[in-house]
Amino acid sequence: MSCAPCPQRLQRLTQVQSGSEIPATLTVQATDDDYRYSHLLPHFSRDTYPPLTPFAFSDPGLRALEHPNPRAFLQNATNVVELTPRLGTEVHGINLAELDSDARDELALEVARRGLMVFRDQHDFIDRGPEFYKQWGSHFGRLHIHPTSGHPAGYPEIHLVYRDANSTFNFEISDSITSTVWHTDVSYELQPPGLTTFFLLSQPETGGDTLFTSQVSTLQNLSPQFVAFLRTLTAVHSGSPSKHIHPVVRKHPVTGEEALYVNRQFTRRIIGLKREESENILRFLFDHIDKSGDYQARLKWAPGTVAVWDNRVTAHSAIVDYKDSKERRHGARITPQAERPIPALDGLKLD
């Protein structure tokens, strides 16, 4: 998870600074010697990365709109199940790693439409390793580098979450009544991510599911009058160490669908409103997202599961309900950046 205040960073600083010597690098040690994915354990270094620069983005899903059958990539699937009417599709029987360029474009379009797709039995994908993950993600956009979180040594483009009996680089809120923190990934960037791929390399026997909700639906369930007002607003998103202003309602570049684009983790302030107005409206919207059970999907991971979501139209939260377990939970995220959020209201001032 990428977070602000970023727990990975806090953890890293705590670990690094507690020693009298500050090590140049730090890699999590597995609790077992023969861990299959030890080469993907979180690694921290003093490397710094240049600030992200703007880049031209064209959504691969646009190309799929021209295909005779934009869902052709699903043709050989043995089972395609809608997880809920408004969000999420689970697919069995296709090998994601074998999708060619056209099929990846179709995937991007379908993920934009469904918000979340869950592919089961993707051991081939997961076992191909970090060079493949980069090649996969680069099809969908420029890969985001998280400046502070742990990544496999040599692969800063791969974002990791990790917890075992000795270490944690997962989000934890010790003084909160819940571990649920709805967010969309790194929304504080000028060009936040679109299609995002995430999978677990190791998981507890039970627990550690991930929650998703549809931000198209959270918006649609508000009154037209209130939505009309929200379309006129922009908000500041900030997180380590970036800060940008985005429209409160954004339009998807391929589907044209409007989605609510605020989240409890990174959205700080609505521009132009009085402080109390901003606080109350944001609190209302965050509560609304918290309570959006009508359009949420809960992903129960199984070995080999790969989830692909569109960060422009969904929000998600890890669930840390396996605290007492000594088992390892180790996940990897591939996070291509997309367009600067397009306001639903033409001409909305963003600077």
Ligand X SMILES: O=C(O)CCC(=O)C(=O)O
In the bound complex, what is the minimum distance in angstroms from residue 267's beta carbon to ligand X? Answer: 16
Q: Please state the three-class secondary structure of 138-183 as a single string.
A: HCCCCECCCCCCCECCCCCCEEEEEECCCCECCCCCCCCCCCCCCE
Q: How far apart are CA 276 and CA 273, in angstroms?
A: 8
Considering only 188, 198, 266, 295, the residue that binds ligand X (CB under 6 A) is 198
Q: How far apart are CA 76 and CA 117, in angstroms?
A: 16
In the bound complex, what is the minimum distance in angstroms from residue 318's beta carbon to ligand X? Answer: 3
Alpha helices in the chain (DSSP H): 7-18, 60-64, 101-114, 123-127, 130-138, 215-220, 224-230, 275-290
Q: Is residue 161 near ligand X by the rule CB under 6 A?
A: yes
Per-residue contact flags (x/-) with Fe ion for residues 184 to 203, judged by CB under 5 A = -x------------------
Partners of 314 in beta bridges: 214
Per-residue contact flags (x/-) with ligand X for residues 115 to 154, judged by CB under 6 A = ----------------------------------------
Residue 331 interacting partner from ligand X, Fe ion, none (CB closer than 5 to 8 Å by kind): ligand X
Residue 59 interacting partner from ligand X, Fe ion, none (CB closer than 5 to 8 Å by kind): none
Residue 232: how many CA atoms within 13 Å on its side-chain side? 7
In the bound complex, what is the minimum distance in angstroms from residue 333's beta carbon to ligand X? Answer: 4
Q: Is residue 289 near Fe ion by the rule CB under 5 A?
A: no
In the bound complex, what is the minimum distance in angstroms from residue 1's beta carbon to Fe ion? Answer: 5
For residue 34, give the H/E element and its range. Answer: none
Residue 151 interacting partner from Fe ion, ligand X, none (CB closer than 5 to 8 Å by kind): none
Considering only 318, 338, 342, 344, the residue that binds ligand X (CB under 6 A) is 318
In the bound complex, what is the minimum distance in angstroms from residue 231's beta carbon to Fe ion? Answer: 26
Q: Is residue 316 near ligand X by the rule CB under 6 A?
A: yes
State the Cα torsion 214-339-2-241 to the nearest 10°.
-140
Residue 264 interacting partner from ligand X, Fe ion, none (CB closer than 5 to 8 Å by kind): none
Q: Is residue 163 near ligand X by the rule CB under 6 A?
A: no
Q: Is residue 169 near ligand X by the rule CB under 6 A?
A: no
Q: How far is the CA of 77 from the CAs of 91, 121, 280, in angstroms?
A: 7, 12, 46
User: Which residues neighbour 349 within 8 Å (Cβ) at sequence distance 6 or greater?
Assistant: 234
Considering only 1, 4, 186, 262, the residue that binds Fe ion (CB under 5 A) is 1
Partners of 297 in beta bridges: 212
* Nearer to ligand X among residue 198 and residue 261 (C-beta): 198
* Nearer to ligand X among residue 242 and residue 278 (C-beta): 242
Q: Is residue 210 near ligand X by the rule CB under 6 A?
A: yes
- Backbone phi and psi for residue 118, each to the nearest 5 degrees, phi listed first: -120, 120
| Maximal CA-CA distance, the chain | 63
* Nearer to Fe ion among residue 43 and residue 159 (C-beta): 159
User: Which residues neighbour 284 within 8 Å (Cβ) at sequence distance 6 or greater?
Assistant: none
Q: How far apart are CA 251 and CA 333, in angstroms?
A: 24
Using CB under 6 A, count the residues that bind ligand X. Answer: 9
| Amino acid in the structure at residue 42 | P
Q: Is residue 185 near ligand X by the rule CB under 6 A?
A: yes
Per-residue contact flags (x/-) with ligand X for residues 324 to 343, judged by CB under 6 A = -------x-x----------
Pull the structure tokens for residue 112.
Answer: 């934009």
In the bound complex, what is the minimum distance in angstroms from residue 23's beta carbon to ligand X? Answer: 25
In the bound complex, what is the minimum distance in angstroms from residue 225's beta carbon to Fe ion? Answer: 32
Residue 161 interacting partner from ligand X, Fe ion, none (CB closer than 5 to 8 Å by kind): ligand X
| Amino acid in the structure at residue 175 | D
Binding site for Fe ion (CB under 5 A): 1, 185
Binding site for ligand X (CB under 6 A): 1, 161, 185, 198, 210, 316, 318, 331, 333
